[in-house]
Structure 1
Amino acid sequence: MDFFAPPVEKLIEEFARLPGIGQKTAQRLAFYVLDLPKEDAERFADAIRDAKAKTFTCKRCQNLTDTETCPICADQARDQKTICVVTDPRDVIAFERTREYKGLYHVLHGTLSPMNHIGPDDIRIRELVQRVADEETEEVILATNPDTEGEATAMYISRLLQPFGIKITRLGYGMPVGGHLEMVDEVTLLRALEGRREL
């Protein structure tokens, strides 16, 4: 038996489909939207429609943009010979917040995952290889997540790019700032040891 009117149930179901949103949070969001003044609700709906209709991927780096080439790729002051490969657009934002990385990006929009039937043709690897072939790339930084899928994707891309004779690097991983050795797992500790540098 449904507790809510069918349109409310449908709204709750749609919110519940969002990642990280459970049934109770979906209900809270649905009722929040229903309590909005009509103009605010319409503005919210328009923002979703506009984002979906006017956002696409940059022809060069595959990041989300509303222009043919994203602002990062269009910025000639950036290092045009370094490409940082990331899993999704949120990773670009994380790097940009550091204000330290001055190169370009390539967004894969996923990682290889045979268990989920995601192969090389399902993410933007082909576009990366084409970029390296067409542009004067000197270094590719593989910045996929340090999980099983991210590591597999980084290794696969590394093998594909070897014939180009460019520098291929992987992000260093290790001890978190403020962490304690006894709380760190073996893989992280090994990475920290391998990635040590001279002081």
Structure 2
Amino acid sequence: MNNVIILPIIIPIIAGMVMVIFRKNIPFQRFLGVLALVASIAVSFVLMEQIKVNGPQSLQLGGWEAPFGVTMVADMLSALLLLISGVVALCCLFYSFRSIGRNREEHYFYPLFLFLITGVNGSFLTGDIFNLFVCFEVMLVASYVLISLGGERVQLRESLKYILINIISSFLFLVGIAYLYATLG
């Protein structure tokens, strides 16, 4: 059992939950966001090294086997994707320090950003298609709030279009998963 696989999901979600408590403390949120992303990048390097030595890694969460439990799998492609997304997210986070404004920062920008990264990392590490859907939805819910965070009229109008298109596509994705499970078991 290799618990390192779950860390790229756990680190940003715990950091995001801590940030929710310290809503007004923007310097702390910035520091914790950078720390969480750097830690996720470091974990992806550790995971890449383990995969290089031992081959693909897997983890059955809670000890439950595949039909009933959640399976996390890491191969070299998923570890590389974790690394790349972590570096890009870190660059985006640094850019956001000067670009988004104090009002958006105080309205949970940084926790939502880390919840988005949690969904992205979970999508790369999941071992089955239904949990891919779950991680995808975590990512989408965070993006729904982030896209409407400013509250301007044009922004809200366009976010409604974005949300409507994503709800339809999520429904089609879920129907496709249901057909796959019905066909393949």
Same fold per superposition (TM over 0.5)? no
Give the helix-richer structure, 1 or 2: 2
Decide which structure has greater strand share. Answer: 1
Higher relative contact order (CA 8 A, sep 6+): 2
- TM-score w.r.t. structure 1 length? 0.27
